[in-house]
Amino acid sequence: MPTAVEAETFESRELFSRADIQIKRGRFREASAILTQALKMAPDNPIYVSHLGYCVGMLGNVSDGERMCRRAMKMAPTVPIILVNLGRMLVGKGLRQEARILFAQAYQIDNTSSPAALELSRLGVRKPPILPFLGRDNRLNKYLGILRFRLGKLLSSKNKEL
């Protein structure tokens, strides 16, 4: 199987650059159209497939976006942006823990990967549930966790005043 670089042409690279600009501007419909053109020229490029999946997901079809991102990951499992795009789809489906693993893998592959670092910071760090014998989704754990958070904020603001 050709690598991402081998599976592209000058024209498809140019189209991808244009699509990337549209993605950064939040214009996912326009980016999807451009990426579809790029994929006609370079159908085996996993980065193009991944970005198109991300756009499809951002346009509301998270399941199809996830499927495309998973296909891209099978083609190139060590490309950080492909892992990040799949993780973004999983966050969209509420699978935050699985997404966190993918973001961490992407960051481990390339610790200069700002998209992976950004997504990890967006997810934040979760503390363990207050009552570990109950699930994280248990109402009692949720309310006690909210209380712990608010008390922590209150105490930290009081310490700053002193």
Query: How confident is the model over 66-75, as pLDDT tens digits?
Result: 999 999 999 9
CATH number for the domain spanning 43: value is: 1.25.40.10
Domain that holds residue 159: 127-162
Q: Per-residue pLDDT averaged across 13-42, rounded?
A: 96
pLDDT bin (cut points 50, 70, 90) of residue 52 is very high
Number of structural domains the chain divides into: 2
- Identify whether residues 41 and 117 lie together within a single domain: yes
Token pair listed for 75:
């083609």
Token pair listed for 37:
């053109």
Cβ density class 78-93: b for 16+ within 10 Å, e for less: ebbbbbbbbbbbbbbe
- Identify whether residues 82 and 141 lie together within a single domain: no
pLDDT bin (cut points 50, 70, 90) of residue 38 is very high
Token pair listed for 91:
């966050």
- Identify whether residues 83 and 113 lie together within a single domain: yes
Q: Does pLDDT of 3 surpass 80?
A: no
Is residue 38 assigned to a domain?
A: yes
Residue 5 confidence (pLDDT): 52
| pLDDT > 90: percent of the chain | 65
Average pLDDT, the chain: 90
How far apart CA 95 and CA 88 sit, in angstroms, is 9
- Identify whether residues 136 and 108 lie together within a single domain: no
For the whole prediction, is pTM greater than 0.85? no
Please report which helix (H) or strand (E) contains residue 9, including its range.
Answer: none
Pick the more confident residue, 39 or 125. 39
Going by the DSSP 8-state scheme, the letter that residue 112 receives in this structure is T
How far apart CA 48 and CA 56 sit, in angstroms, is 12
DSSP H helices, the chain, are 10-24, 28-41, 46-58, 62-75, 80-92, 96-109, 114-123, 139-161
Q: Does pLDDT of 89 surpass 90?
A: yes
Q: Nearest CA to 91 among 101, 82, 81?
A: 101
pLDDT bin (cut points 50, 70, 90) of residue 4 is low
Residue 6 confidence (pLDDT): 56
Is residue 100 assigned to a domain?
A: yes
